[in-house]
Amino acid sequence: MDIKLFSTIFIAVFIAELGDKTQLATFLFAADKQASRWLVFAAAATALIFATAIGVLAGSVVADKVDEKLLSYVAGAGFILIGAYTIYRA
């Protein structure tokens, strides 16, 4: 296993997920006194696994049809546009 690549992906996804809508929704479910925290954890973790699987599958399909460098440019431009829009709306 490539530990450097694993660490890079882990850190990027971990930071991206902190404070996002998914974490806030999980927070609210866990705050419900009637909900088991283990059930909330298991359901949220399973949902994230399936969402990640969709991303990996979609990325694999797209990568077979589109140049990796172009994907990097499109992804970078997308993040810049989202950031600009967020700043504009603030």
Q: Per the structure, how many domains does the chain have?
A: 1
Mean pLDDT of 54-60: 93
* The overall pTM is greater than 0.75: no
- CA gap 40, 53 in Å, rounded: 20
The residue to which tokens 């806030």 are assigned: 24
The pLDDT score that the predictor gives to residue 17 is 86
Indicate the pLDDT class of residue 18, thresholds 50, 70 and 90.
Answer: confident
Per-residue pLDDT tens for 66-83? 998 998 899 899 989 999
What is the domain extent for residue 74?
A: 3-89
Cα–Cα distance for residue pair 39/14, rounded to 1 Å: 21
Contact between 15 and 21 under an 8 Å Cβ cutoff? The reply is no
